[in-house]
Structure 1
Amino acid sequence: MRKKIVAGNWKMNKSMEEALILASEVVHMVKDEVNTDVQVIIAPPALYLTTLQKHTEAVANMGIAAQNCSNKASGAYTGEISASMLKSIGATHVILGHSERRQYFNESNEVLAEKVNIVLENGLTPIFCCGETLEQRQAEGFLEFVASQLTDSLFHLSAEEFGKVVIAYEPIWAIGTGLTASSQQAQDMHAYLRGHIAGKYGQEVADNTSILYGGSCNEKNAEELFACPDVDGGLIGGASLKSREFTNIAKSF
C-alpha cells in the first residue's frame, strides 16, 4: 500500500529564528493532530537542516528533506552539498528536479538522473518533480512530455530502486500563480503517469508508487485533490510556511 505524504518546500524563506518557530509549531501540531499513517516532511533551507532535524526526529511520521543536492559525491565543487553530507546530518529525503531548479539553474534530465542515483546510493528518498509549462499544457503531447521526464531521469533504475522514489507532479503553470489544476486534471495526469510506470515496471510497482500533487495545493482544495484515487498527497509551497494551514493540509486525508 503506497504512502500518503505531505511535504512542505520552504524554498528560500525564513530566518533561523523564524524557521525554529515554524518547525516547532508544525512538529507539535503533527504529533497531536495528524494520523500516523500520513508522512509529513519539511524541506527548509539547507542551513537549517541540522538544527530542525533534531525536532522532526522525535515524531515517528515526520521526515526532513533537502531542497537539492549535488550530482557529485565529493570534491572541489564550491558551494555544493553532497548526498552523503545530507545523510550524515539525518536528512531523510531530497527534492530533485523542481521546476525552479530546471528553469533557473538549467538542470537537465541527464543531470537529474545522476542526482537520483547518488541520493539512492546514500539511502535517501528522492522526491522527483516533473511537470509542464502553460505553453506545453496548451500544446499537443503534454502528457507525453511529462512522462518523458520520468523516462529520461528514472527509467534506468531497477524495479527495486524505482520503488524507493516518490514522484511529485507540479503543473508549472499553477506554481505561485494562484491557479490550480482541477482535481480532474490532477487525477488524469497522475493516472497517466502511473500507467507509464506500469508499462516499464509492472502494475505492482506502479500501484506502490506515491505520486504527489505540487501546484498551489492549499487547505481549501487539499481534501478534494487527495480524494482522487491516484493523488497520494502534496508537495506544498507557500502554504507550508504557515503551520496551521500546512497541518490542516496534512489532515485533509
Structure 2
Amino acid sequence: MRRSLIMGNWKLNGSLSMLAEFITSLSDQIDALKMCDIAIAPPAVYLHEAKKQLKNDRISLAAQNVDFNTGGAFTGELSPQMLKEVGAKYVIIGHSERRSYHQETNEGIAKKFALLKETGLIPVLCIGESETENAQGLTQTICAKQLDAILAKCGPDAFKNSVIAYEPIWAIGTGKAATASEAQKVHAFIRQHVSKGKDEIAKTVIIQYGGSVNASNADEFFAEKDIDGALVGGASLKVNDFLKIAQSAVAAKTF
C-alpha cells in the first residue's frame, strides 16, 4: 500500500518563532500519524534551524526550489548538495509560481529533477494546467507534456522513488479546489502515463493533490484511490489545520 505524504509548502512565509512553535506542536502529535509521512518546506534560510530542532525523524524537511547547477558563479542559488547538507529530504520543483514568475521551462525543470536524483534527494514535481487550459479540455495534454520532459531526460525509471504533485493552477491560493472526482480522474491519468510499461513504478509513485486543500475538504480527496496525500499551501501555516489534514489522510488509510 502506498503511504500518503502530507507536505506543507510555506512559500514566502514564516519566522524563527513560528518555526519553533510549529515543530513543537507537530512533534507532540506525530505518533498518532503513523499511517502517513509528514514533511514541511519552510523558506530555505530556516532549514538548518529546523533540522536542529527536529527530534523525531518522522518529520522530514523539504526545500521549495533548487538550482540545476552544482556550483559556480550563480548568485543567490542553492545546489542540491547544499540542501541535502542542511537536512532536506525532498525538494519541490516545477511549482506554477516558479514557472510563471521565474519563467521556468519544462526542460529546465527536468535538469533539476535529474540532478536531485543523482544527489539522492526526492523530487516533488509539480504539474498542472491553467484555468483557460482546463476550460479548453487540455488538462491531460498539459500534464503529459510536463511529465514527458522528465521521462525524456531521465528515462522510464524516472519516477521511481519520486513524488508528483498535481496542482491545477486555477486552484492554487484561490480558494477554488477541483472536486475530488475531477482530481481523481487526473491522478489516474498521471499514474497510467508515467508507467510507460513500468507498471510497478506506476503502482508505487506517490501522487499528491495540491490547490486549496484544507481541513474541510481533505477527507473527500483522500477517499479517492489515486490521491496519495497533499501538497498544502496556506493551510500548512497553522499547525492545527495542517494536523487535521494529516489526520484525514490517516483515516483514509485505515477505514
TM above 0.5: yes
Contact 1:73–1:82 at 8 Å: present in 2 too? yes
Where does residue 174 of structure 1 map in the other structure?
171
Q: Which secondary structure state, in structure 1, belongs to the residue aligned with residue 19 of structure 2? A: helix
Q: Which secondary structure state, in structure 1, belongs to the residue aligned with residue 230 of structure 2? A: strand
Output the CA distance in 1 between the equivalents of 2:138 and 2:128: 13
What is the correspondence of 1:22-171 to structure 2 with a 5 Å cutoff? 22-31=22-31, 33-34=32-33, 36-56=34-54, 58-171=55-168
Where does residue 205 of structure 1 map in the other structure?
201
Moved more, 144-153 or 4-13: 144-153
Give the Å deviation of 1:136. 0.6
Q: Which secondary structure state, in structure 2, belongs to the residue aligned with residue 17 of structure 1? A: helix
Q: Which secondary structure state, in structure 2, belongs to the residue aligned with residue 68 of structure 1? A: coil
Gaps of 5+ in 1: none
Contact 2:116–2:123 at 8 Å: present in 1 too? yes
Contact 1:159–1:205 at 8 Å: present in 2 too? no
Length, aligned pairs only: 249
| Cα RMSD (Å) | 1.3
Q: Which secondary structure state, in structure 2, belongs to the residue aligned with residue 231 of structure 1? A: coil
Give the Å deviation of 1:220. 0.9
Moved more, 61-70 or 155-164: 155-164
What is the correspondence of 1:186-201 to structure 2 with a 5 Å cutoff? 186-198=183-195, 200-201=196-197
Q: Which secondary structure state, in structure 1, belongs to the residue aligned with residue 6 of structure 2? A: strand
Output the CA distance in 2 between the equivalents of 1:206 and 1:216: 26
Contact 2:172–2:212 at 8 Å: present in 1 too? yes
Gaps of 5+ in 2: 250-255
Contact 2:166–2:207 at 8 Å: present in 1 too? yes
Give the Å deviation of 1:173. 0.4
Output the CA distance in 2 between the equivalents of 1:223 and 1:61: 22
Residues 119-149 of structure 1 show CA distances to partners (whole Å, capped at 9, x for unaligned) of 1111100000000110110013321111110
Of 218, 221, 227, which residue of structure 2 is paired with 1:225?
Answer: 221
Output the CA distance in 2 between the equivalents of 1:244 and 1:208: 29
Contact 1:37–1:61 at 8 Å: present in 2 too? no
Moved more, 65-74 or 22-31: 22-31
Residues 128-180 of structure 1 show CA distances to partners (whole Å, capped at 9, x for unaligned) of 00001101100133211111101113443244442021000001101111101
Where does residue 235 of structure 1 map in the other structure?
231
Output the CA distance in 1 between the equivalents of 2:197 and 2:43: 34
Q: Which secondary structure state, in structure 2, belongs to the residue aligned with residue 126 of structure 1? A: strand
Moved more, 158-167 or 4-13: 158-167
Contact 1:187–1:230 at 8 Å: present in 2 too? yes
Where does residue 18 of structure 1 map in the other structure?
18
User: Is residue 6 of structure 1 aligned with residue 2 of structure 2?
Assistant: no
Contact 1:99–1:172 at 8 Å: present in 2 too? yes
Question: Identity rate of aligned residues, in percent?
Answer: 42
Runs of 4+ that moved beyond 3 A:
158-161
Q: Which secondary structure state, in structure 2, belongs to the residue aligned with residue 156 of structure 1? A: helix
Give the Å deviation of 1:201. 4.0
Residue identity in the other structure for 1:186: A
Residues 3 and 159 from structure 1, CA distance in 2 versus in 1: closer, same or farther, beyond 3 angstroms?
farther
Contact 2:140–2:186 at 8 Å: present in 1 too? yes
Give the Å deviation of 1:20. 1.9
Residue identity in the other structure for 2:100: Q
Q: Which secondary structure state, in structure 2, belongs to the residue aligned with residue 65 of structure 1? A: strand
Output the CA distance in 1 between the equivalents of 2:78 and 2:245: 30
